Each structure stands twice: as structure tokens, then as C-alpha cells.
Structure 1
Amino acid sequence: MLDKNTILKDMAIEEKASLCSGGDYWHTKELKKYNIPRLTMSDGPHGLRLQLKQADNLGINESEKATCFPSGATICNSWDVDLIYKMGEALGEECLKNNVHILLGLGINIKRSPLCGRNFEYFSEDPYLTSKMGIAYINGLQSTGVGACLKHFAANNQEERRRVINAIIDERTLREIYLYAFEHIVKETQPISVMSAYNKLNGRYCTENKELLDMLKNEWEHKGIVITDWGAENNRVEGLIAGNELEMPATNGKSDLQIVQAVKEKVVSEELLDERVGRLLDIIDKLTSNEKLGQSYDKQKHFQLATKIAEESIVLLKNEDEILPIKSKNIVVIGDMAKKPRYQGAGSSTINSEIIENAYDSFISAELKVDYANGYSRLPSAGDKKLRKEACEMAKGKDIVIVFAGLTEEYESEGMDRRTLDIPTNQNKLIEDILKVNKNVVVVLSGGAPVKMPWAHKVKAIVNGYLGGQASGKAMVNVLMGKVNPSGKLSETYPLKLKDTPSYYNFPGSNLNVEYREGIYVGYRYYDTFDKEVLFPFGYGLSYTKFEYSDLRLDKIHMNKDGKIKLTVKVKNVGNMSGKEIVQIYVSKENSHTYRVKHELKNFQKVS
């Protein structure tokens, strides 16, 4: 164990300052003189992106093989906290095998607009659901002794100009919507680290925002460290004063010298520097003392878990005439994504998957012979017309046409926001043309965010797999064939059109500022309060069976500020197939003296 007090007493200012920035791209500094080992960090959050060679934070350079679990936007549709705990646990096991001390996840920023290019990595538009799923994930991860890094703190709700944009948010909105999940996850899990975001919040960069970091450390009593997002620090001295212990990546000693100079000029007291370095030493000691480091894990078990999570997260949006599950063998599968699945997002969370199972091969493995047509190019091209014609010819006379479509890699990625809710035009044209020759069309969607579906009222079924990880194809086929009854429900609203979204007139803002003028009216809080029609609502999802609710009871009808009410309800499967239901509890306050949303999610439970 490190003797923190003795080390701090013996260390020179220069040595203390040196610990406050990275040793290289993925490591803290090692100080052999004091037996201080270095920490290893790696990107996450739905897999381990460990880079042993050339490093980057955009997912460009090669990383080691790892299990690619479903993305955050996907797993939240499962509403299954026990399953997400297991995912966190599995990620921790893969970190241990590779001697990784901190996994850079979980990202929990609220989905203010469906256009945010990184929404595939985040959970939900709802802060309560986000907090409960986040608590399960981090408890699972940290149960292995691996540290989590809760990010991006805070109000990092867009990719456009993310390094300079100033998010202007009133305090009530900030606390009720954008900080709620951070607060509750910090209080209930004590994440080893929190990552400060690139953007400004109410005029101050998050890395140097003392009010924000004081809230984290003093009000919420966070005991861990604050790490900058990679390259996010703008003024190292101000950041240190505000509460940022560790700047990443390495700065080649530049920021260390700035800290030393600030101490000598009494801008920073040595006592404050000792406090920051002391926290770092506590975390280094805790993480490097983990006796589980280096132990192996069961790859097959992790693959099975990834499959299970993907299955539980699939959302059945439409099933007219109960066309699903598949009952016929006269089937054609159409779409490039059936053979080359879009199974994860792009950017720092890109995982080098151990294996990738596509839907077409999974049909064959399930001994269901299907015809196939490509249907469209990943990048729209002059050849799309020919591909559509070939697909339509093959669709004629089939009992079921299954079209795999959705957002391509070029449409959503870290570093850029979408400009539209549309999927690629060539895919929409393909679906419309197929409908002219066959009405029994099932659309299987991939993507990390809501999209428009101009054909939704015409097709027989819509199944949304989001970004289901390396087992996405197998999981989807299991649902289509009825081996698994879909039980996912949407963790975000699908609007009819972009103009309906509450942040429409204030996203992504001006060159310098973005004003959150919609206030607390985010997602369903807006659509439900103002009776706005939507394509698919928050919390929506169908099943191959039916459930009946009865005997709803409360143990009391009045509750004081700190009180609790017990609610019980009977849920019965009245269909012909076993399945799971997600019971959702929403509350509202009548005769409120301040403006409030119509109702808010306050509890949920997945039952079977």
C-alpha cells in the first residue's frame, strides 16, 4: 500500500505537479522513486477499445479484440437493470485480463435532440431511467475492482462545436434534467472517476467550472477523481483549482510547469495541490492493488451474454396481422445490412469485435433457407436503381419480405451531428418500390437514434434492433423466428418530424452559444404535456403475447415530502406465448404552484 501522507511530505512540488497529467495517451505517470505505479485506461463503454500500438481517441487506429456488447442506446431499451449489471461485470473481467484499471464509461448525457451524433452511446431522454441503468452498469463494472469513468460532465448534448460551445441552462432544468443522473449515480455508486466535458456550461469550460465541480465533490460527496476529456483542458491552473485532478493525455510537461509556477506565485496553495494529488494516490493505490488483475475470462460466456442483451433490447414497433413471428419458409431477405450489419457506433467507442454474426448467416444456421438481394448501396450510387429492380423481382410472390435498413456509418458518428431524421434516400425508395409488388413487408431497423419512417403505415411489421453489438444478427433472427419474444421498449420518443422536437429552434445553437430554451420539457415531458402526436412514444414496445393489468393498489393516498407510497399491481400473460413485460410507473402533481410536466417516470420493473 502507498503511504500517502509520507509520500506527499517527501515529494517536491515538481513531482506532485507531474502526477496531474498523463504519462502518455492512455497512462498516468509512474514514479519509481516513491513506488507509484501507473494506471492504464481504455475507451469503452460497450466494449474494451484497448490500443497497444498507435493511440487515438476517434476509433481510427487498431485496437485489441474484445467483446462488442450492444451500445448504450440499445441496452437501455431492455429496461433490465440485472442484465446491465452483468454487462458491467463482464466488461470489468475483460479489463482485468488486459490489466486495464479504468474503463472510460459510462456516457450518460441526456438526449436533448435526436440529432446528436453520439446519441447511440447514451441511454435515454429520461433522467430517472438513465440513472437506474447507469447505477446497475457501474456497480457491475466496479464489483470487479475496475474503475468506471462517468461522462461527460456535463451538458455535453451535441457534437457540433463541442469543444467551444457554451450551453446556457437555467438551474432548475440543469438539476432536474441534465444533472439528475450524474447526481444519483455518484451518490449510489461512487464511480472511481468522472470525466469533465469539452463544452462550456453557463460561461465556463466544464474542466474549469468550479461551481460544477464543487457540486460534484462537496454537495454530492464524490470521493474519486476528475479526469479531463482528452485534450479538453484550456487553463490547467484554473482546472486544478476548480477540482480537476488529472489532465489527459500527456502534455510533455507543459501543464506541469504551469502548476509549479502557480504554486511558487501562490496562485495555488501547496495544500490544495496536496489535496488533488492525494486523491490521485488513493485511486492509484486502490486500483493497482486489485489481486484479480491479469486473470482470464470465458469468451463464450461473454458472447452469450452479448446475445442475450441484444435480444432483450429489440423493440417490436408494429406487427399487423401477426405476421411475426415467421411462420412461412417462402421468404426473401433484402438489404446490405443483413450481411454487413451496422452493429455499433463510430468514434472512440468503436470495438474490434471478437466475432460478428449477421442476420443472413443466422437464418441459414437456423436451417431456414432464404433468398437474398442486396437492395441498396451503403453509399447511394448510380447502381441503386438496378439493385432495387433486382430486389423487387425477388420480392414478387414471397410470403414475407424482410428488409434490413437503417442509419449507415456515414449518418451518425462521434464528432458530428445529424442534419435530418431521414434514413438514406436509397433505402426509403427500396421499401416503397417493394411495397408496390408485395404488401407483406417487415422492416428491420438498425441505428442509434430515432428516424422518420414515411412507409410505417404501409408495411406489416417494424422491428428495431438499434445497434445490437457483435451478436446483433443472431439476436434479431431469434426474435423474427419466435425463439425469443421481443420485450424491449423505447427509451426515447420517435417524433413524426424534426420540427416537432422541443429543441428544434435552439439546436445546435449559434457559433458560440446554445440556449436550452425548452427548459424541463425534454422528450416525452414535452410531447405528453402539450399533447403532441408522435410516431412512437417513450416506453412503447409490442410483444408476441398480451398482458393484462389488474388490481392496482396504493397503500396510502397522501404522502409527505420525504415519504413513500407502496404500489402493487397484478400483471398476467393472457396470450399464447411466454414473454416479459415492463411495468412503468409515472407520477404527476395536481394543483402545483409552479409549472410542471404532465408526468414523470419514477419506477419500473421488468417482469416475466
Structure 2
Amino acid sequence: MTDVEHLLGQLSLEEKVSLLAGQDFWSLPAIERIGLRSLVMSDGPIGVRGVGWAPDDPSIALPSPTALAAAWDVELADRAGQLLGQESRRKGVHVLLGPTVNLQRTPLGGRHFECYSEDPLLSGEIAVGFVRGVQRHGVGTTVKHLVGNDFETDRMEVDVRIGERALREIYLAPFERVAESGGWGVMSAYNSVNGQSMAQNGPIQDEILKREWGFDGVVVSDWRAARDTVGAALGGLDIAMPALESPWGEKLVSAVRAGEVPEEVIDDKVRRVLLLAQRVGVLDGGPAVTVPEDLDGNAIAREVASRSFVLVRNENYTLPLEPAALTKVAVIGALATDARVLGGGSAQVSPPYVISPLAGLEQALSGVDVEFTIGADPRPFLPAAHGPGWTPAKVTMGGHSFEVEPAAVRWIGSLPGGLDPAGVDEILLETTFTPAEGGEHTFAVSGFGTFELSVAGTKAYAGTLHPPTATRADLLLSPREQRVHVRLDAGEAVPVVLRQTIARGMAHTVSTTLGHRGPGPDEEGMIAEAVRLAGESDVAVVVVGTTEQTESEGFDRTTLALPGRQDELVSRVAAANPRTVVVVNAGSPVLMPWAEEVAATVLTWFGGQEAGAALAEVLLGVTEPGGRLPTTWPRREEDCPVLAVVPSDGVVAYGEGVFVGYRGWLRSGVAPLYAFGHGLGYTSWRYDELTVNETEAVVTITNTGARAGREVVQLYIGSSPVDPERPERWLAGFENVEAHPEETVTVRIPLPPRTFEVWADGGWVRRTGEYRVIAAHALDDPRLTATLEV
């Protein structure tokens, strides 16, 4: 084992400080004379992007974190983490920036697809499994964003006011769980908490995280969140990222020499960085990293997807479908072919392939007539050109070429082919299109920069999509689109060339899409066509969901309603075919005014690269939809106990205290559309027995159905009588159960001391008295109740 103290003694002040800030966008510097190599970080958490976003180096794309939480399975989270640890090693990454354990306080949060749940226990346990899996490969994690980064509006500057009890019992709880389980890193948030910026929030980062919890890992800033040299140094931050506009470097050296920052504070930070370097294998003399056996990433992506899908409605046993009884299936919706498989923002990667719902069903129903129509298109931008008639797009820049399909390129950081950004001032995208249908075709350019588009040798567009004053955030999170119309003849191949001009040195950030839509009916005509097709089919599968412009990092949602005319589409299709199955492709809750009109509804979150294959298996009963809701889904926006995300005078006050998520729903007495923990399967369960003591609950259940299946046994606890200062009941534990028909199984669910404690008078206080212990299928579906005197 390397003697960290010995190494520390060999470093000058300048060298120490150099290890506490990025040398570029993603890495820390090396100091070769002490055997320290550069430590590389990368965005996650559904894939490993690497130091760029290079489409010629694809990344396995798992389902969204809300999907992983919906499986309610710590071991599955562990396997997902192992896969991403494996991917990190493959891409030369030592620290994965994730997971995100901020809570879904209000369903309007734009980044909630990247967060696990509205419940701190579920979030913490899934995060522990994920972190354990990643770190098994000797790859670090940074659980984020500490703390109160539960919405996107003004997230860089907003001051979140959280009472001490809610802070401890709700918002810090998942971070505490990961810290105590051995996580190696934490990322601090942009926002302030109770008047103090998180990047320099000593009471939380230093006093609570490091001293009280005994956390020995590193605290890294969110990118450009550290703004004050002395404040960040004294406030518990260890690494300020990236190099761009860093407040440290020479400024921190000067602050130490001026006596504003004690050198022992710097030494503590460097010790933590060297320990991390030792753990991830970039410091000579550290323990060897034992890499587990290779995992099949595609198989895990499919398993996580199917296990996460939540069947919230299944009238008259519509699902699973019986393929032998089907002759014609209608597949409807723009997202059936252009599925959202991952969320927008820093969680994006370039997957090697994507199986759409339509492709998955076509492959699984090879002997059935599967017909598709759009019905209603909610996408404000045209989809990237791909599919029948299109050749893969050849991308050329700086003498390096590669192919992409669909016709879109995007990266942050390193360029494909290892090109120097300073030497790239142009990107050329070339493809050939052979239309199956003649008439007016619509082409589009979206992204940022100056473009020239030619179709069939004729210039169709030339111009700049963003003004010179656009910020980096504007470019990444608010792309613009320009459409043009070109008449083409059926069967005649035409070249399509998109040339993008980039300012010198700016090629490290690129986002460009060539969009296309063929001739077709107007909006009303598309819905009418869907209704006609549904009426002619044995079953109609309608895929609806959000778009990147309505649910993404960088902004919050303004409404929970599905964009466009998708709600109307569902209602009209359901009226035409009573066997209508709706697939909701959204990362977090949406309104479903048609919920009682359809035969079945499946929530698929952002399902990752295997989404369509997993969906086909679930709809056809090859696998059971194993998910349970990690969030409450409202019937109406106004029913939500907490909704607003807009700051008032720069402040968002968490005035509801501990009554977050289902805790608030229980206090309001309003029934949601679908409660926390809800989810149906393809078999039935009898809860036979519940026994409980102060350390564990023992639950025995029997599979009373005709199929093997999986049940998530959920344990809720509440004081008796109900204490008005505490939720009516709260999640105390859970366990997955698998059983064959007529098989009886028993599970033991631990009850740690914190189950019966509240934060009061500056510490954890055990509340004695009588408690109700409830074994449940869901929050609103209790099966067995016992009492416990504590």
C-alpha cells in the first residue's frame, strides 16, 4: 500500500493545489515523479460517455434511473453498476459522475428522469447497489447533487431553504446511506442551501458529510459551481472542476500564502485525492484492482428495461397478448419509431443501436401483420434522418471520417478520432436519400453554428441558427431548427449534404442534426388514419410520451400534460378499438386523462437501447412487467401537494417539511391516479403472515396465480395513533420475491434503528410508543398489519 503521507511530504504547495482542480474539462493532472497518473472523470449515469461524446465510440445505454428505481431491486442496481464500471474501464474512465439521488419533490422537475424516487429510503438503497457495482471495478462514483438540487429553474443561483428536520430525514438521507456504505465521491450542487452556496457550504460538506458521517472520499464541484477561492477551500470542497474559470490554481496558492487558507486544509484535500487515485488504480503501489468477469451489456440493458416497466392498468386481462390469436396489430405514435431511450442533458450518450417499440414488435410478431402510423407527432423538431431510403451519414472533419445512423452528431470534450479542436473549423455530413414517395419533403437543420444544406445539388438553406450572444447553456440546452421544403420524385436517389462551419477552437462542443419528414397528411388526417387502422386491428398499441424539449436537464416542465395532440389520439383510438394498450414513454409522471378509457397502460420510462425488445417481451408475456412506481402519479396537477418550482426573490422554500411525495399525498387526503409502489403483474399473490420485532419484519406470501412471477413486498410503518408531526406512514423497507404457482416464500426485511427515529434538538431521537407495521403490495394496497411496541 502506498504511504500517502510520505507522498504528501514530497509535494510543493503548487503541486498540491494542482491536484485539486481540473487540468481540462474532465481530468486531474498527473505528477509522474510520485507515480501519480491523470485521473479521468465522465458523465453517467445510464452509460459512460468518456471524455467526449464521440459517435464513433458508442456507449451502452441503460434505462433511465427512474426505471432502475422502478425495479425496486438492489441487486439489479448492483449489476447495472457493474456494467457501467466495466464500460468505464473500457473507456479509460476512473470516476463516474453519478448516481443522482436528489428527490422528486415536485413532478415538474425537468431532470427527474435522472433521479430515482420521491422516497429517500428507496433512493438510497438503489444508489447503494449501483455504487457498489461500479466501485467493484475499481471505478469511483460521485453521488450527486449535494443537496437541494431538486429542480432546474435558476439552479445556478437559487437559494433553497430547507428546515433542519426535513434536511436530515429526507434530503440528506440518501447521501448519508451511500456515504456510510463506502461511496468514494460526492458532487456538490450549484444551488445554495439556507443562504450558503453548496460549493462552499461548510456546515453540510465539512461538518456533516466529513466529520459526522466519517466520509473519507472526495467532494467535487458540479462543473463551474465553485466560484469563490477561499470560501470553497474552507467549505469542504476538494476538487473544483473543470479548468475553465477555476477559482483555484494560483489564486488558491496565494490565499494559502496569505494565511487565508491553512495549508493543513489543503493537505486534507490532497490526502483524499491520493486515496481516490489509489482506489481507482492511478497511483503506483496501490492495491491491484480485481476486475469481475465481463457482463453482457445488451442483455443487462434488456433485463433492466423489462424489470422496470410498470403495468398500471390491465382490464379484462388484456395483457399479455397471445401471438397465436393475433392477425393484425396497429402500432401508433411518433415515439413508436423515434423512442426516447434516454434523457436530455449530461445523461446523454451515443448508444450503439436503439430498438424501437415498432421494431421490437415486428421482430417478435414475425407472422402477424404489424402496421404503423404516426397518429399524432409531439416532436417540435424533425427526427434525425434514418431508416428506409437513407444511407448511413458519412461525417468528415479534419481528415477524419466515420458513419452515423441516424444523421446526428453530438459531443462535449474530446473530438472523434482524437482531433485537436483548434484544427477543426468545419464538419461535413453526407448521405443519400431515395424517397419511396414523391412530393414535398421537409428537411431540417438543428443545432448551433453556421450551416449550409444542399439537397440534390441545390442549396436549400444557408445561415446561422444562434445569435453571437448565445451562451454555452443556450447552445446545449436550447437548440434551434430551420426547416426547408424540397420536391422530390419517388425512387430517385439524391445526395444530401450538410456543411457546418465552426469557430476556431470551439469544436469541443458540437450538436448537429439533419432532420427529415416525408409527405403526408395534416394533423387531423394523421389522427383519422390512426383511428381507421385501430378499428381494423385486433389490438392497438399507442406509444405516447414526452420530448427532449419538454423533459430534459436545464429547465423544468411547465405542465404535466403530454405535448401535442397525444391525449386526443389515445381517446379516439380507444373509442375505435376497446383493446387499446397505451405505452407511456416518459421519464417521470405525466397526466393521463384517458386512463379509464383504455384496456391497458404500461409505463416504460426512458427504456435504454433495448427498450423495444423489452417491450415486446412484456406485452407478449415472455417476461413479466416487474416494476412498481417509485413516484406518485397524479390525476390532476392541482392535486399535487407540492408543484411550483419557480423561485420567489431567488428563494424556494421547502415549506412542506417532511411531507414530500406520498407523505404529502397522505396528509392531503387526495387520492392520486396511481399511488407510490403501485404496479401489476401477470400473477396474483396472497399475503399469509406478518411477524415483527424491533429489528426485522418477516413476511410470508404465496403465488396464487397460474404463472411464475415476481412481487415487491413493501413494508410501511406509522405511529399509532398518527402523530400529526409525522407522516401517516412511511416506507421502512422492501424485498423482491420470486415464486412459481402455489409456491410459498418468506422474506426478512431489516428494521434499522433509524426507522423509529426523528431529527429533533440537533440529534436523532428514538420515538417510543406503538407503531403500525404494514406489509403491502403498494402504498394504497395494504395486505397485512401488525402492531409493535418500541
**Normalization by structure 1: what TM-score?**
0.93
Q: How does 1:386-535 map to 2 (within 5 A)?
A: 386-504=525-643, 506-535=644-673
SS in 2 for 1:352: coil
Q: Which residue of 1 aligns with 2:699?
A: 569
Of the structure 1 ranges 534-543 and 439-448, higher mean CA displacement relative to structure 2 is found in: 439-448
Report deviation, 1:40: 0.6
Aligned counterparts of 2:603 and 2:245: Cα–Cα separation in 1? 47
Any gaps of 5 or more consecutive residues in structure 2?
A: 382-520, 739-790
Say if 1:388 and 1:184 are closer, same or farther in 2 by CA, change over 3 A: same
Aligned counterparts of 1:140 and 1:362: Cα–Cα separation in 2? 29
Aligned counterparts of 2:723 and 2:331: Cα–Cα separation in 1? 56
Aligned counterparts of 2:25 and 2:626: Cα–Cα separation in 1? 41
| Equivalent AA in structure 1 for residue 616 of structure 2 | V
1:590 and 2:720 aligned: yes
Report deviation, 1:374: 1.5
> 2:188 touches 2:220 (CA, 8 Å); kept in 1?
yes
Q: Which residue of 1 aligns with 2:187?
A: 195
Q: Which residue of 2 aligns with 1:55?
A: none
Aligned counterparts of 1:24 and 1:375: Cα–Cα separation in 2? 47
Q: Which residue of 1 aligns with 2:472?
A: none
Q: Which residue of 1 aligns with 2:440?
A: none
Aligned counterparts of 2:535 and 2:60: Cα–Cα separation in 1? 39
> 1:158 touches 1:417 (CA, 8 Å); kept in 2?
yes
Q: Which residue of 2 aligns with 1:357?
A: 355
Q: Which residue of 2 aligns with 1:242?
A: 235
| Equivalent AA in structure 2 for residue 521 of structure 1 | F
Say if 1:41 and 1:546 are closer, same or farther in 2 by CA, change over 3 A: same
Of the structure 1 ranges 107-116 and 493-502, higher mean CA displacement relative to structure 2 is found in: 493-502
Report deviation, 1:545: 1.3
Report deviation, 1:372: 1.3
Aligned counterparts of 2:299 and 2:665: Cα–Cα separation in 1? 38
SS in 1 for 2:641: coil
Aligned counterparts of 2:237 and 2:359: Cα–Cα separation in 1? 49
Q: Specify which structure has the bigger relative contact order, considering alpha-carbon pairs within 8 angstroms and separated by 6 or more residues.
A: 1
Aligned counterparts of 2:238 and 2:56: Cα–Cα separation in 1? 27
Report deviation, 1:296: 11
Say if 1:273 and 1:51 are closer, same or farther in 2 by CA, change over 3 A: closer
Q: Which residue of 1 aligns with 2:64?
A: 71
Report deviation, 1:594: 6.4
> 2:682 touches 2:707 (CA, 8 Å); kept in 1?
yes
Q: Which residue of 2 aligns with 1:371?
A: 371
> 1:312 touches 1:488 (CA, 8 Å); kept in 2?
yes
Aligned counterparts of 1:283 and 1:567: Cα–Cα separation in 2? 38
1:138-186 C-alpha deviation (Å, 9 max, x unpaired)? 1111111111111000110111100000000100011111001111111
Aligned counterparts of 1:144 and 1:539: Cα–Cα separation in 2? 32
Select 1:206's aligned residue among 186, 198, 202. Answer: 198
Of the structure 1 ranges 378-387 and 583-592, higher mean CA displacement relative to structure 2 is found in: 378-387
> 1:73 touches 1:123 (CA, 8 Å); kept in 2?
yes
Report deviation, 1:551: 2.2
Select 1:165's aligned residue among 158, 161, 185. Answer: 158
Q: Which residue of 2 aligns with 1:317?
A: 312
Aligned counterparts of 2:293 and 2:26: Cα–Cα separation in 1? 23
> 2:138 touches 2:290 (CA, 8 Å); kept in 1?
no
Say if 1:512 and 1:439 are closer, same or farther in 2 by CA, change over 3 A: same
SS in 2 for 1:404: strand
Of the structure 1 ranges 270-279 and 77-86, higher mean CA displacement relative to structure 2 is found in: 270-279
Aligned counterparts of 1:304 and 1:420: Cα–Cα separation in 2? 35
Q: Which residue of 2 aligns with 1:343?
A: 341
| Equivalent AA in structure 2 for residue 324 of structure 1 | L
1:237-279 C-alpha deviation (Å, 9 max, x unpaired)? 2111111111000147752122111111111111221121122
Report deviation, 1:434: 1.6
Report deviation, 1:550: 1.2
> 1:99 touches 1:293 (CA, 8 Å); kept in 2?
no
Say if 1:292 and 1:69 are closer, same or farther in 2 by CA, change over 3 A: farther
Aligned counterparts of 2:360 and 2:55: Cα–Cα separation in 1? 27
Report deviation, 1:511: 4.4
Q: How does 1:240-279 map to 2 (within 5 A)?
A: 240-251=233-244, 255-279=248-272
Aligned counterparts of 2:212 and 2:724: Cα–Cα separation in 1? 25
| Equivalent AA in structure 1 for residue 331 of structure 2 | V
Aligned counterparts of 2:651 and 2:98: Cα–Cα separation in 1? 27
| Equivalent AA in structure 1 for residue 663 of structure 2 | R
The alignment-based identity, stated in percent, is: 34
> 1:48 touches 1:95 (CA, 8 Å); kept in 2?
yes
Say if 1:338 and 1:2 are closer, same or farther in 2 by CA, change over 3 A: same
SS in 2 for 1:436: helix
| Equivalent AA in structure 2 for residue 398 of structure 1 | S
Q: Which residue of 2 aligns with 1:546?
A: 684
SS in 1 for 2:714: strand
Larger Rg: 2
Any gaps of 5 or more consecutive residues in structure 1?
A: 53-58, 557-562
How many pairs does the alignment contain? 590
SS in 2 for 1:70: coil
SS in 2 for 1:353: coil
| Equivalent AA in structure 1 for residue 679 of structure 2 | G
Aligned counterparts of 1:552 and 1:155: Cα–Cα separation in 2? 37
Report deviation, 1:581: 0.6
Aligned counterparts of 1:397 and 1:529: Cα–Cα separation in 2? 47
| Equivalent AA in structure 2 for residue 202 of structure 1 | N
Report deviation, 1:211: 0.1
Aligned counterparts of 2:541 and 2:268: Cα–Cα separation in 1? 60
> 1:163 touches 1:232 (CA, 8 Å); kept in 2?
yes
Q: Which residue of 2 aligns with 1:578?
A: 708
1:46-68 C-alpha deviation (Å, 9 max, x unpaired)? 1101134xxxxxx7x75831110
1:218 and 2:356 aligned: no
Report deviation, 1:38: 1.1
Report deviation, 1:435: 2.7
Report deviation, 1:291: 7.9
Aligned counterparts of 2:224 and 2:560: Cα–Cα separation in 1? 31
Report deviation, 1:294: 12
1:326 and 2:321 aligned: yes
> 1:51 touches 1:63 (CA, 8 Å); kept in 2?
no
Of the structure 1 ranges 155-164 and 394-403, higher mean CA displacement relative to structure 2 is found in: 394-403
Q: Which residue of 1 aligns with 2:786?
A: none
Aligned counterparts of 1:374 and 1:501: Cα–Cα separation in 2? 32
SS in 2 for 1:589: strand
| Equivalent AA in structure 2 for residue 537 of structure 1 | A
Say if 1:278 and 1:465 are closer, same or farther in 2 by CA, change over 3 A: same
